Chains A and B, each alone.
Chain A
């Protein structure tokens, strides 16, 4: 499987950039297609936002960038933007004939990396590749960033790390960077950016998000403030900034939910039922679907979360298997997968989930010997899961609300993301899943795909089969996801001072190890990554 364009199109970049254009106006669609083709890009057009999302979900790594119109009949462009950002973490460019500042502002707020005014000029389209490139660089930086998290002094070159067994991460990181894929390009640049003051991405695991939501509800949504939430949450490594940004996303999410439910009410509930499924409302649906699908599993794992979810989701969302994980926290992969697979997966691998949950995540205190054992369980299902690795992750992360997410993620992650089979799927330690999932939920899948790809590639290369050494595993674990790493590394100093720290390793989900042992093909679906994230760090 291709790892996205970096690996195969490095030389002729940006030619061959895979663009997905979404516009309800057939005239514009035709024109843009022609223009983009002239730029030597690979174009896919879509007249409906929903179709676009489906396309994106089906082919996780199928596109590099999305260009979308703001005004579309079936779905607001901004909503699509959020979805894509959350689920796939692809750069999205908005377009409109309306260039009012407020609109542009809204686009930026929702995460658009650019806003073009129609009519669009060729030269504007020619430069869209920069957004893809930039994201990749950021991902690499993130990977490195977490290393530099306070207390963790992992030199970019991994030299510090090398003395320890723990240093896999560092080394890997470096090596990964040095991989030809696109890392080479960024290697030099990124290496220099280390600084402990670098912001580290926080992985908002399901648990974490649940804590967050609990705190918010306790304080009262109106009186809420980052400091209060932080205090209530009592998570040592979390900073006020982390909470603040998460709160902002949460608010956005809620407001969108609110609008949807209003719309629903006004339309007599006939409004795009699909949307509900897919939208934040969907998260509710997700919840329900998750619940329905995974009845036992889910319930067993997270009785609490379920409660929270339910409490938070007043909407009578359909119990579709769609888990719309608009949720910004959820890694894209997970969301997407979830939707697509969630029923699928759950039905097939309910067992897996159960198994996963049982295993404690942190077994690695002294070495990861414990990891392998769990794997087999998962393997069984892997076959089935094979096609949908992301599903698992989807499960875990979804939930727009923290509430929802928490529920879902753990379950899903375990199962899906890490098929241990030699099929080449990343084997996800089921066991570790549980904790992982929560972590992932809050993950922002930034450049998820990219990092995944990179990581996976790396993993593939570095993880020979069943190597029980932690080293490779750690590497993989570390590398697996930029986000992941960032989250874990960057997060709290408290957790681990550096890669070397065995406790850090211990935190790596068991499944990580499993993964290492099996040869899996990268790139992992973003969802898979998210799972890792989740598993990796259990706050």
Chain B
């Protein structure tokens, strides 16, 4: 695939992520923060996020697995995850967290487990999408091109 095509694909792909609400403006902001002094900034931040969030998800699962569930604790974890996902612009994950917190308030274990599933799903989705995105970017760079700065024209 030639460079132009790759770049086109990347642009389309990125646009779709925004359109589908998988990513929000925060991700764009991250991209804009990236510069020559920090060419891998976005990748680094996203990696940090997934590292942290995976831990959080495990903590939540564990907490929900207890005999007597500590909802405060679960809520605290979810809140953290919410903040984290907001940092990288993982909008759907964030929204799923908001719903999750409501379940925590109701102290409904079943509901919480369902919410957790939802969050995990969104988390998995955004992870895949971003991996694809980075791969595309890498290909472009490898081919000698530059990654166009995304623009929110929609």
Nearest-neighbour CB distance to chain A for B43, whole angstroms, equals: 12
Judge whether B95 is part of the interface by a CB distance below 8 angstroms.
no
Contacts known (A25-B52, A25-B80); A34 close to B41, Cβ less than 8 A = yes
Nearest residue, chain B, Cβ from A96: B83
Q: Could you tell me the distance between the alpha carbons of A118 and B82 in the complex, rounded to whole angstroms?
A: 10
Please state if A97 and B86 are interface contacts (CB–CB under 8 Å).
yes
Residues 109-141 of A at the B interface (beta carbon under 8 Å): 118-119, 121-122
Instruction: Let me know if A387 is at the binding interface, CB within 8 A.
Output: no
Q: Does A101 touch B at the CB level, under 8 Å?
A: no
Please state if B84 and A25 are interface contacts (CB–CB under 8 Å): yes
Q: Is B87 on the interface with A (CB-CB < 8 A)?
A: yes
Tell me the B1-53 residues at the A interface (CB within 8 Å): 25-26, 29-30, 33, 38, 41, 44-45, 48-49, 52
In the complex, which residues of chain B have a beta carbon less than 8 angstroms from the beta carbon of A119?
25-26, 29, 86-87, 89
Do the beta carbons of B44 and A71 come within 8 Å of each other?
Answer: no
Q: Which residues of A contact B83 (CB under 8 A)?
A: 25, 28, 69, 71, 96-97, 118
Closest-CB distance, B17 to chain A (whole angstroms): 17
Hey, what's the 0/1 contact readout for A1-44 against B, CB within 8 Å counting as 1?
00000000000000000000000111110110011001000000
Q: How far is the CB of A49 from chain B (nearest CB, A)?
A: 15
B19 to chain A minimum Cβ distance, whole angstroms, is 19
Question: With an 8 A cutoff between CB atoms, is B112 at the interface?
Answer: no
Pick the contact of B33: A28, A35, A69, A118 (CB < 8 A).
A35
Checking A28, A71, A96 against B87 with a beta-carbon cut-off of 8 angstroms, the contacting residue is A28
- Residue A366 is within 8 A (CB to CB) of chain B in the complex: no
A164 touches B (CB below 8 Å): no
The yes or no answer to A188 lying at the interface (CB within 8 A) is: no
If A25-B84, A119-B86 touch, whether A30 touches B44 (CB-CB below 8 Å) is yes
Choose among B48, B79, B82, B87 the residue with the greatest number of A CB atoms under 10 Å from its CB. Answer: B87
In the bound assembly, the distance between CA atoms of A121 and B86 in angstroms comes to: 12
The B interface, classified by DSSP as helix, strand, loop or mixed, is helix
Determine the chain B residues whose CB is within 8 A of the CB of A118 once the complex forms: 83, 86-87
Closest Cβ of chain A to B32, distance in Å, is 8
Instruction: State the Cβ distance, B95 to closest chain A Cβ, in Å.
Output: 12
Query: Cβ of B69 < 8 Å from any Cβ of A?
Result: no
> How far apart are the CA atoms of A317 and B84 in the complex, in Å?
36
Query: Is the pair B41, A27 in contact by a Cβ cutoff of 8 Å?
Result: no
Give A contacts to B, CB under 8 Å: 24-28, 30-31, 34-35, 38, 69, 71, 96-98, 118-119, 121-122
* B residues less than 8 Å from A35 (CB atoms): 33
- If A31-B33, A97-B86, A118-B87 touch, whether A26 touches B52 (CB-CB below 8 Å) is yes
Question: Judging by beta carbons under 8 Å apart, are B48 and A27 in contact?
Answer: yes
Q: Determine whether B88 belongs to the interface, using a CB cutoff of 8 Å to chain A.
A: yes
Q: Which of B38, B41, B48, B86 lies in contact with A26, CB distance below 8 A?
A: B48
Q: Choose one: B33, B44, B45, B76; the contact of A38 (CB below 8 Å).
A: B33
Q: In the bound complex, what is the Cα–Cα distance between A368 and B66 (angstroms)? A: 72
Nearest to A38 among chain B residues (CB) is B33
Given the complex of chains A and B, what is the CA–CA distance between A213 and B44 in angstroms?
Answer: 53
B129 CB → nearest A CB, Å: 17
**Which A-B residue pairs are the 7 nearest by beta carbons?**
A97-B83, A119-B26, A27-B49, A27-B87, A27-B48, A28-B87, A34-B33
Residues of B within 8 A of A (CB): 25-26, 29-30, 33, 38, 41, 44-45, 48-49, 52, 76, 79-80, 82-84, 86-89
Q: How many inter-chain residue pairs (CB < 8 Å) link A and B?
A: 52
Q: A28-B83, A30-B48, A31-B30 are in contact. List 20 more A-B contacts (CB 8 A).
A: A24-B80, A25-B80, A25-B84, A27-B45, A27-B49, A27-B87, A27-B88, A28-B84, A31-B33, A31-B87, A34-B33, A34-B38, A34-B41, A35-B33, A69-B83, A71-B76, A97-B82, A97-B83, A118-B86, A118-B87
> Which residues on the B side are within 8 Å of A24 (C-beta)?
80
> Given A27-B49, A121-B29, is A71 in contact with B84 using a C-beta cutoff of 8 Å?
no
Instruction: Enumerate chain B residues within 8 angstroms of A28, measured Cβ to Cβ.
Output: 83-84, 87
Collect the chain B residues with CB atoms within 8 Å of residue A34's CB: 33, 38, 41
Which one, A30, A38, A98, contacts B79 given CB within 8 A?
A98
Least CB distance from B83 to A in Å reads: 4
- How far is A212 from B76 in the complex, measured between Cα atoms in Å? 39
Which residues on B sit within 8 Å (CB–CB) of A97?
79, 82-83, 86
Q: Which residues of A contact B88 (CB under 8 A)?
A: 27
A95 (CB) vs chain B CBs: closest residue: B83
Q: Write the nearest CB–CB distance from A70 to chain B, whole angstroms.
A: 10
User: For residue B89, which residues in chain A have a CB less than 8 angstroms away from its CB?
Assistant: 119
Cα separation A34 to B34 with both chains bound (whole Å): 9
Contacts of B44 in A (CB 8 A): 30
The distance in angstroms between the C-alpha atoms of A119 and B30, with both chains bound, is 11
The chain B residue with its CB closest to the CB of A28 is: B87
- How far is the CB of A491 from the nearest CB of chain B, in Å? 44
* Inter-chain contacts of A98 with B (CB < 8 A): 79
Name B101's closest neighbour in chain A (CB-CB): A98
CA distance A98 to B86 in the complex (A): 11
| B82 contacts across to A, CB distance below 8 A | 97
The contact sample of 13 A-B pairs, CB cut-off 8 A, is A25-B84, A27-B49, A28-B84, A34-B41, A71-B79, A71-B80, A97-B82, A97-B86, A118-B86, A119-B26, A119-B86, A119-B87, A122-B29
Which residues of chain B come closer than 8 Å to A38, judged between CB atoms? 33
Nearest-neighbour CB distance to chain A for B96, whole angstroms, equals 14
